[in-house]
Structure 1
Amino acid sequence: MNDMLRKLPIGIQTFEDIRTGNYLYVDKTAFVWKIANTGKPYFLSRPRRFGKSLLLSTFEAYFGGRKDLFEGLAIEQMETEWKKHPVLHLDLNAEKYDSSERLYDILSRQLSQWELQYGKGIDENTLSGRFSGIIRRASEQTGCSVVVLIDEYDKPLLQALGNDELLEDYRKTLKAFYGVLKSADRYLRFAFLTGVTKFSQVSVFSDLNQLQDISMNYYYSAVCGITKEELCKVFVPEIEHFGEINNLTFEETVDALTKNYDGYHFHPRGEGMFNPFSILNAFSNMELGSYWFQTGTPTFLVEMLQKTEYDLRTLLDGIEAPASVFSEYRVDSNNPIPLIYQSGYLTIKGFDERFRNYLLEFPNDEVRYGFVDFLVPFYTGVKNDDQGFYIGKFINELESGDYDSFLTRLQAFFAHFSYELNAKTERHYQVVFYLVFKLMGQFTEAEVKSARGRADAVVKTPKFIYVFEFKLNGTAEEALKQIDEKGYLIPYQADGREVIKLGVEFSAEERNISRWLNEIP
C-alpha cells in the first residue's frame, strides 16, 4: 500500500521542492545537460501545463551548482564541474496583464529585487537599461557569466489579444527588454525562454535573432511531457492500482491513459507525448477526467474562430497546414490555426514529405471532447449543463430505437437558440449538427462527415445503425433518395445490426428541424 501513496508532484514546478520533498520525478536531466552544453540562447514553445516551468527550475538548480539535488539522476554521470553561475529567473506566468502600467510594474519589481543583490547604475532609467546593467554587474561581481531564464515570455501578449493598442504597447516594451539578451551576450553563459506561442509579426524577437528555437527539434521533442516508455517505467505502482480500482489489466490501463492523454507530437518523427498534468491527476484521482482542459478556458480561441468564420468541420476532422504554422503567429492573420496548434489543441499526426505539409488533429480524447464541449454554448446558446442532459438523452433514445424521441429532442435543442443565433447562416447550422454528433461520439460510435459521398451522420449502437441525411431547404424524401442513390448503406449491409435510414428536413424559415421520414431496408 505504501507504493500507492507515493507523492505526485501535481502543481509543483520547483525542481528543488520535488527532489527534497521526495516526489516522483521523470528524469529529464540528460536533456538539461545536453542543452546547456551544446548551445547558449534557446527558445522552447510548449502548451500550458506541459512542464516548461519545471524545466527552467531544473536549469536554475543545475547552473546554481546544486549537485546534491541531482543525485541518482542521469546528469550525475555527465557533469563533472558543477560550477555555480548567477541566475536571473523571470516568471511572467502568474500575473494579470490588463494595462501598460501593469506590465511595467511587474518587470520593474523583478529588476528591483535583482538590483538589491547586484546594485543599480545612476544612469539606468529604462527597463532595458536596468536589465542590461544587472547582467553586466552580476558577471563582474561574481567572476562568472550569467544565466537568464524567462518563463512564459508571451503571457502579456496573449492576454492582450483583441486589444491592438495594448498589444502594441506590450510588443514595444518586451522587444526592448528581451533585446538586452543580444547586446549583453558577452556576459551570458546561457539564456532560455519559454512560451506557448512564437509570435512573428509582433516582432518581439526581431532584436534577438540568435535564439535557437528547439520547439520542433527532433532531439528535444521529448524534453517536456511523458513518453509511453517513461510512463510504464516510472509509474508502475500507480498503473497497477488504477487498474485494480477500475477493473482493468495493466495493458488496458495503459491503453485507456493513451487514448485520453497521449498523442502530442512535437516533431513528425518524434515520440508521442502524454500530457503530464493530466496523467498525474488521473493517478491522484484514480479516474479518467478532463484535467488539462479544465485548467484554462480558451475563450480567445473561440472568439478567433467566430470572428474569422472558420468552418469548424474542417478543424474537427483534421486539417493540412504548412510549416509556417509551427514557427509563428501573426496577430493580423485571418487564420486561427497557428495559435490553436501552438496552444496545444491540435498536434502533428502526419507529414507529407513531398509538399512539406502537416496533418494536424486533436491529440487525444481529452482535448477532442473537451474542445467540442466548450464550443457548443458559443454556437448554440445552450449551456454546458443543459447540453450534457441532451447528449445523455440522445444516446439513450437511439440505443433503445426511439429515433422519433431523439429527433423531437433535437428540435428542442435548436429551440433554445437565441434570436441572434437564429440569424446565422446555413453553414452555422451544419456546424451545430456536426458538434452534436461529435459529442455523441464520446459515448457511442457516432461518425459525422463533411466530405461529399458520405452520409451526414452515422450512429452505431449495440442493436441499431442509424444513417442520417439532413436537408436544409430540401425535403425528407430527397434525403432518403440521396441515401439510396449514393450507396450510403453499403458499408453496413453485412453488419448484422438493424439499419435505419433517416431523412431530415431543416426549415430555413423556422430555423429548426421541421419533419423527418424513416425507412428500414
Structure 2
Amino acid sequence: MKKLPIGIQTFGKIINENCYYVDKTPFIKKLEQGGYYFLSRPRRFGKSLFLDTVKEAFSGNKELFKGLYIYDKWDWSKKHPVIKIDFTEGNIKTPEDLKIKLTEMFISLQREFDVEITFQTFSGKLGELIYALYKKYNQQVVVLVDEYDKPILDAIENIEYAKENREILKDLYSALKKADPYIKLAFLTGVSRFSKVSIFSGLNQLRDITLSPEFATICGYTQTDLEAVFADRIKDFDKEEVKKWYNGYSWLGEKVYNPFDILLLFAERQFRPYWFETGTPTFLIKLFKQYNYYLPELENLEVGEELLSNLDIDSLYVENLLFQTGYLTIKNVERRLYREVYTLSYPNYEVKVSLNNFFLLHFVPDRSLKDKTENELEKALRDNQIEKLKDILHRFFASIPYDWYRKNDLESYEGFYASIVYALFSGAGFETIAEDTTNKGKVDLTIIYNNKAYIIEFKVVEDQPEKTALKQVEEKKYYEKYLGKYEEVYLIGIEFGKKDRNIADFDYKKIQEAD
C-alpha cells in the first residue's frame, strides 16, 4: 500500500507502518471554481481530514497528491492563502470560553501569516485578515471552518449560554458576506444544520451539500472503498458482520461506514461500539424523558424536510438532534403531495444496541443489574422458558427509582413501559421490530431469536389485570405473517398496573398452524 505524507493521508491511518487511504480528491475538484459550501456530518466522520486536504490543494502543494485523482486535473500554479478556523479542540461551554478561543485563534493566525490585525470585533478581525491576505498574496482567500457549531453544542445544556455563543458566532460569520470579493472558497463543516437565519444571516449564496446526492459519500467509506483499499484487512473478517455492525449511514446516496469504526476494528480486531463510546448523548436522553418519547418509534420515524434540515436552539426537537448527531440516518424518502417525507432509522447494529443501553442506564444506573437482566432474557428465550420473562421484567421495573415517576404520569404512560422493554431487548442485541406492520394492524413489539418469533402487546391497566393484551394480539391475528416463516411463533400479552408501576399480568400462548 502506497505511503503518503502525513498531511494528505485522506481518511487514512497508519497500521503496522502501512498507510491506508481512500481518495476523496474527486470532491475537491468539484470545489475548484470556488463558492460557499456547508456540510453537516456526525462527529468523527472525517470532516477535519477533508478540510486539511482542501487546504493543501488550494495551497498548491502538488507533490502531496501524487497518485491521487486530482494530481493532473488541478491548476497548481495558483496558490491561495488559506485561513482555517478550528473549533475541534477544547470544551467551549461559556461565552467567555468562546471569546478566549477566538482571541487566541486570531493571535495564532497573525503569527502564521505575519500580518497585523487592529480591529476589535471578531467579525472585524476576520474581515481585516481576509483583506490583508488578499493584498499580500494577490490571490483570493480560502476560508475553512471546522466544526462551526461546536461552541453552541458544547453549551447546549445551558440554553442561555448556547444562545450567547450563537450570537458571537453569527457576528463572526457575518464577515464572510462583507469580504465576498476577496474570497475564493468558504467551506464550513459541523454536526448540526442551524438555520441560515440564526447563524449565517445574509449568506444567501451558501450551498448546503449535506443532503446532496452528488456529495453523499464525501465523508465515510463505501462498500467498494472497504473491499478495495482495505482488501488485505477485510479478508480476516466476516464482511456481512462488518456491514451489520458499522455500515448504514445515508445522506440520499450510497450507504457509508464511519471511518473511525473501521480503522479501530482493523487495529483492535474485535467488534465494539468504537464510535458510540466517544460520545455521551446525555442531553438527548433528558429530552426523551422530558417529552415522554416513545423509543420504539426510532426504528421507523417519519419527519418532514423542515424538521430534518434546521436545528433551532429556541425550539429543540429530539428527531432533529438524533439525525444530525448520527444516531439516526435516512432509511427512505418519498414525495407526498407537495413535500418530501423522510423515514429515519438506526444506521446499524452498533448504534441501535448502544443507544438503547445508554437509555436504560439513565433510568437504572446499576450497570451490573442491567447486564444481568439482559443475560437472563437471553437465557430464558434460548431455553424456551418464556414464563421466566415475567419475573425478569418485574425485577427490572422494580429497580427503577421512584423519583422517575414523581411529578409526571409515567405510571400511566404505556409508551414508557414499551420503551423500557424495547430498550432491554434491543440493548441485549436481539433482533427487534417495533410497531411491526401487518395487514391486520400494528404489533407493539416483535422479537426474532433462534428461528422463533415473539409477538408482544402492551397495555396499561388501573389495578387489576384485564386480560386484554393477549386477547387483542390473538383476535387480530397479528401473528399470521410469521407462520411458516419461523419454527415457532409465540404471542405475549403484558399489562402494567398504574398503582404498582410494574407488571400486573403476563400471559403467553404458542400459535400452531391450525390456529
Task: Give distance in 1, aligned partners of 2:147 and 2:42.
Answer: 10
Greater shift in the superposed pair: 463-472 or 299-308: 463-472
Find the counterpart in structure 2 of residue 25 from structure 1: 21
1:323-359 deviation line (CA, Å, top 9, x unaligned): 1134211222253211211111111111112442111
Pairing partner for 1:449 from 435, 438, 452: 435
For 1:494, the aligned partner's letter is: G
Q: CA separation of 1:178/1:22 partners in 2, compared to 1, >3 Å: closer, same or farther?
A: farther
**What is the Cα deviation at residue 447 of structure 1?**
3.8
| Greater helix content | 1
Counterpart of 1:55 in 2: which secondary structure?
A: helix
SS in structure 2 of the partner of residue 420 of structure 1: helix
Q: 1 CA distance for matches of 2:342 and 2:445?
A: 27
Deviation at 1:217, TM superposition (A): 1.5
Q: Name the structure 2 match of 1:365.
A: 349
Aligned counterpart for 1:345 among listed residues 311, 319, 327: 327
Whichever structure has more strand as a proportion of its residues is 2
Aligned-partner Cα distance in 1 for 2:95–2:40:
25
- TM-fit CA distance, 1:17: 11
Q: Distance in 2 between matches of 1:75 and 1:326?
A: 33
**Range 145-154 or range 75-84, more displaced:** 75-84
1:256-287 alpha-carbon deviations (Å, 9 max, x no partner): 222221111112xx111111111111111222
Structure 2: runs of 5 or more not aligned: none
User: Match of 1:375?
Assistant: 359
Cα distance, 1:460 vs structure 2: 4.1
> What secondary structure does 1:75 align onto?
coil
In structure 2, distance between residues paired with 1:413 and 1:402:
18
Q: Is the 8 A contact 2:11 2:46 kept in 1?
A: no
The 1:467–1:145 alpha-carbon spacing in structure 2 relative to 1, beyond 3 Å, is: closer
Task: Determine if the alignment matches structure 1 residue 484 to structure 2 residue 474.
Answer: yes
Partners of 1:383 and 1:13 in 2: CA distance: 44
Deviates more, 1:475-484 or 1:300-309: 475-484
Equivalent AA in structure 2 for residue 449 of structure 1: E
Partner of 2:493: 503
Of 419, 429, 437, the residue aligned with 2:402 is: 419
Rounded Cα–Cα distance in structure 2 between residues aligned with 1:502 and 1:212:
51
Q: 1:450 to 1:330 in 2, by over 3 A?
A: farther
1:89 equivalent in structure 2: 84
Q: In structure 2, do the counterparts of structure 1 residues 14 and 386 end up closer, same or farther at CA, with 3 Å as the change threshold?
A: farther
Partners of 1:14 and 1:74 in 2: CA distance: 13
2:245 counterpart of 1:257: no
Alpha-carbon separation, structure 2, partners of 1:196 and 1:333: 17
Paired residue secondary structure (1:193): strand
CA contact under 8 A between 1:308 and 1:334: conserved in structure 2? Answer: no
Return closer, same or farther for 1:518/1:186 CA change in 2, 3 Å cut-off.
closer
Q: CA deviation at 1:169?
A: 1.7
Distance in 2 (CA, whole Å) between partners of 1:30 and 1:182 is 28
Question: How far does the alpha carbon of each residue in 1:102-134 deviate from its partner, in whole angstroms, 9 at most, with x for none?
Answer: 111111111112223333254x12222222211
Measure, in 2, the Cα distance between the counterparts of 1:518 and 1:326. 40
Report the residue type matching 2:458 in the other structure: F
1:403 to 386, 390, 397: 386
Residue equivalent to 1:239: 234
- Residues 7 and 53, structure 2, Cα contact 8 Å, conserved in 1: no
For 1:257-296, list aligned pairs within 5 A. Answer: 257-267=242-252, 270-296=253-279
**Other structure's SS at 1:190 match:** strand
Quick check: 1:293–1:370 contact (8 Å CA) kept in 2?
A: yes
Which of 288, 311, 318 aligns to 1:329? It is 311
Give distance in 1, aligned partners of 2:220 and 2:510: 49
Deviation of residue 410 (structure 1)? Answer: 1.1
Gaps of 5+ in 1: 244-252
- Is the Cα contact below 8 Å between 2:453 and 2:489 reproduced in 1? yes
Q: Distance in 1 between matches of 2:399 and 2:264?
A: 35
Closer, same or farther: CA 454–88 of 1 in aligned 2, 3 Å: closer
Q: Which residue, out of 49, 55, 59, partners 1:54?
A: 49
1:101 aligns with 2:96: yes
TM-score relative to the length of structure 2: 0.89
Q: CA contact under 8 A between 1:437 and 1:448: conserved in structure 2?
A: no
1:140 aligned counterpart, secondary structure: helix
Question: Are residues 146 and 508 of structure 1, via their aligned partners in 2, closer, same or farther at CA, if it must alter by over 3 Å?
Answer: same
Show the counterpart of 2:223. 228
- Change in Cα spacing, 1:463 to 1:320, as seen in structure 2 (3 Å) is closer
8 Å Cα contact 2:451/2:487 also seen in 1: yes
Q: In the alignment, residue 25 of structure 2 is paired with which amino acid?
A: T
AA aligned to 2:278 is: T
State the SS of the aligned residue for 2:145.
strand
CA contact (8 A) 1:346 1:360 kept: yes
Partner of 1:299: 282
Task: Give the Å deviation of 1:468.
Answer: 3.4
- Tell whether the 8 Å contact from 2:436 to 2:444 is kept in structure 1 after alignment: yes
The offset of 1:500, in angstroms, is 4.1
Q: 1:8 to 1:81 in 2, by over 3 A?
A: closer
* Residue 178 in structure 1 maps to residue 165 in structure 2: no
How far residue 360 of structure 1 moved from its aligned partner, in angstroms, is 1.1
Partner residue of 1:475? 465
Out of 65, 77, 82, the position equivalent to 1:70 is: 65
Pairing 1:138–2:133 present:
yes
Counterparts of 2:368 and 2:85, CA distance in 1: 40
The change in CA–CA distance for 1:15 and 1:326 in structure 2 (over 3 A counts) is farther
The residue that corresponds to 1:248 in the other structure is none
1:206 maps onto 2:201 in alignment: yes
AA matched with 1:510: D
Superposed CA deviations along residues 130-180 of structure 1, whole A, max 9, x for unmatched, are 222111111212222211111000000111223232122212211111111
Change in 2 beyond 3 A, CA 1:216/1:118: same
Change (3 A) 1:357 1:130: same
Evaluate the alpha carbon distance shift between residue 460 and residue 34 of structure 1 in structure 2; reply closer, same or farther with a 3 A threshold: closer
Matched-pair contact (CA < 8 Å) for 1:377–1:383: yes
Change (3 A) 1:225 1:18: closer
2:427 aligns with 439
Q: Which amino acid aligns with 2:435?
A: K
AA in 1 matched with 2:323? Y
CA distance in 2, matches of 1:34, 1:273: 20
Instruction: Give the CA deviation at 1:450.
Output: 6.7
Shift of 1:515: 3.7
> Does the Cα contact within 8 Å between 2:24 and 2:218 map onto a contact in 1?
yes
> Out of 481, 501, 506, which is 1:516 matched to?
506
Q: Report the Cα offset of residue 520 of structure 1.
A: 4.2
Residues in 1 aligned to 2:497 and 2:126: alpha-carbon distance in whole angstroms: 64
